[in-house]
Amino acid sequence: MAVNMVLIQPIVALLAGILILIVPRLLNYIVAIYLIVVGIIGLMPH
C-alpha cells in the first residue's frame, strides 16, 4: 500500500507543532528531523 505524502506531511507538521508547544526545548530537534526527512523523501525517485 503506497502512502500518499500529501497526507503524511500535514500530520507530521501537526504532531511536531503539538510537541513544540508541550516541550519547547525540542524545537531544534524536531525542525532538524523534519527537514532531513523531507529532504530524503524529496530525493527519492517517484
d(CA 16, CA 43): 22
Into how many domains does the chain fold? 1
Contact between 5 and 38 (Cβ < 8 Å): no
Percent of the chain with pLDDT over 70: 87
How much is the average pLDDT of 8-32? 83
Determine the pLDDT at residue 39.
81
Query: Taking 80 as the threshold, does the pLDDT of residue 43 lie above it?
Result: yes
How much is the average pLDDT of 34-44? 81
Indicate the pLDDT class of residue 3, thresholds 50, 70 and 90. Answer: low
Q: Domain of 21?
A: 5-43
